[in-house]
Amino acid sequence: MRPATREQLRVPLPGLKQPVTTRVTTADGRDLHYQEFLVHERAAPQVVAVRYDGLDPVAAPAAEVLDALTKADVVVLAPSNPGCGRR
């Protein structure tokens, strides 16, 4: 495999047309934004539920995403926060 050229790289695209917010419910009953859970709480509280606010049951991918997927030779899926699984 050879490295991609600058022209071959694409800027990450949003997966959906609408904004989606990740919320975490903790064992002590708090409802936290995912970023608050990770940064402020350092992912310490026990999680009892995760929900995605704004995720329509018939959510559709953005047109640019479909186009990019059909034209791509390789697709790389990365976590939203690469450090969130480390302790």
The predicted pLDDT at position 80 comes to: 61
The predicted pLDDT at position 23 comes to: 93
CA distance 7 to 1: 17
Are the CB atoms for 49 and 26 separated by under 8 Å? no
pLDDT value at 73 more than 50: yes
For 72-76, what is the mean pLDDT? 80
H or E element, residue 48: strand 47-53
Question: Closest Cα to residue 46, out of 27, 30, 29?
Answer: 27
pLDDT value at 86 more than 60: no
Sketch the domain layout of the chain as residue ranges: 21-71
pLDDT value at 87 more than 50: no
